Structure 1
Amino acid sequence: MINNEGIVKANPNVEILFNESLSKYTHTLTGGPADILAFPETVRQTQSLLAYANQHEIPVTVIGNASNLIVRDGGIRGLTMILTKMNKIKVHENHTITADAGAALIDVTKAAQAHSFSGVEFAAGIPGSVGGAIFMNAGAYGGDIDDVVTGAEVLTADDQVVHLDFDQLDFGYRHCSVQDNHQIVLAATFSLTPGIADKIQKRMTHLNQLRASKQPLELPSCGSVFKRPTGYFAGKLIHDSGLQGFQIGGAQVSTKHAGFIVNVDHATATDYLNVITHVQKTVFDKFGVHLETEVRIIGEEPVKSL
């Protein structure tokens, strides 16, 4: 049994909520309750929360902007930390930017443009946080985070703050070493190049217009659901399987872009997961290709009533 009073006393300056629905924070507007939900604003607060959880054997889950995430309807046991209050962005004269994990990646691209730093334009429409972008090696339109990130500050599983350089981050397709080592990204450094502000803005505007024309941004979603299978495009496989518009409950395969699943009518996380399973089975039966999820799926299954 978690001592709610104890964690509050140990972290008096942190906003902490109990049994809080995560549907308020996810981009799908779905998700069950977090036993404990904390919003640290500093590295020290994050470190203190993790130390307390380790001491009392409380499981820990970390969430950024929850844009490429599905939280199951049973919610998350233990301590969940949302890092979006850790959002400072610092611009340096050597064409580098240091950003806290909770900073919006879009805000990093805006800061870069404002200072005529080029290289991160591809991320102008990615709705995730810096920490999430590192964790997933986020990318779009021919660019990936590992093209521009040189290092990161992380919190290890035993609550120590360490620096990881580029090689230690061991980036891969939608992968980073922090996933394997159960580390928490605290901040990252972006190395960019000199550019012309107007040209940078023009490129960002073009990519955002392209995104708006092709993706269902007008509806809640978890972003791109599936990884790109070798030699294929997930969206085309789903389209060619006749699945656009397929719906379970309130979750629907987008009619605008088959690689997205949108919340069209008070969907639950279970609706999302059932649509994902159906899409995977249908595509495999038709094309022999297994679609691996890109979206991060966490939390507990809901308790079934008798």
Structure 2
Amino acid sequence: MNIVFLDAGTVVLDGDVELSGLEALGRFTPYDNTQLEDVVERAADAEVIISNKVLISREAIEKLPKLKFIAVSATGYNNVDIVAARERGIGVSNVPGYSTDSVAQQVFAAILQHATHLAEYAADVERGEWEKSEIYTILRYRCFELRGKKLGIIGFGDIGQAVGELGLAFGMQVLPYRRGAIADARFQRAELDTVIQESDFLSIHCPLTPDTKDLLNKDSLKRMKPSAFLINTARGGIVNEADLVEALKAGVIAGAAVDVLSAEPPRGNPLSAPGIPNLILTPHTAWAALEARQRLMLGVQSNIEAYARGEQSNIVNPA
């Protein structure tokens, strides 16, 4: 079996994720990254393609007669034309659930940073501010405890629930919103307007759909508390980015942590401009804890092994 990994550099950092299991399946060729125009050339002899974010278009699929299986090394698979793959009888698999804990802990890293101003105080010390202080400390930033604060969660799947569980551990009041019922008795479903208007922290965990595009916009941001803090680790298009910049500059909300943008990497995105107050912007890394990346590649390997046995595992385009 000939396996080509088009963008291994999006998953492996200095060899920290073991790929020997894939090497054992046949001829294995990893590339750090692959430009769109190089996909067909690099995958010309591939029976299996692994891709995290490299686009596998209809045009590419039609030019790869040896291709039999596409293993997406992610949960989302919108980089693959699954209709064109189905027409060719090519299975497409994904890996759900591998990054739940990684994302949840980054949500709380942002929450705790906003509550404690840890980075600002550390920077003050680095600049020598503590040494110049006339008292034993520096009391410059208003910090607060999480206990009793309201944590709103829009989208209450595995990641949303993991965030909710961390909220309970900190003594927070969790306000989860999802369209369907919530089976876990620890959590009581709240209405969307309630979540937006009452949350001290609002964390987004729903998929990007026509219904959720620009869900957080100028109007909904104005309905949030002025002291509220917004966290988006889901998809960029759920929050209107220009509206969020305006809200942060005007003090409509107290701050935001954003890990995902509508186009990545950003090219002229308003959120990537310098000097936006009270914004923590990270480069789509919430998923990327070492353990999560290890689980991801084990999941990819398992999906390919199932294909080799003539079985289906996490197939997203069933015939």
* Coarse TM-score class (shorter-chain normalised): under 0.3
TM-score (norm: length of structure 2) = 0.23
TM-score (norm: length of structure 1) = 0.24
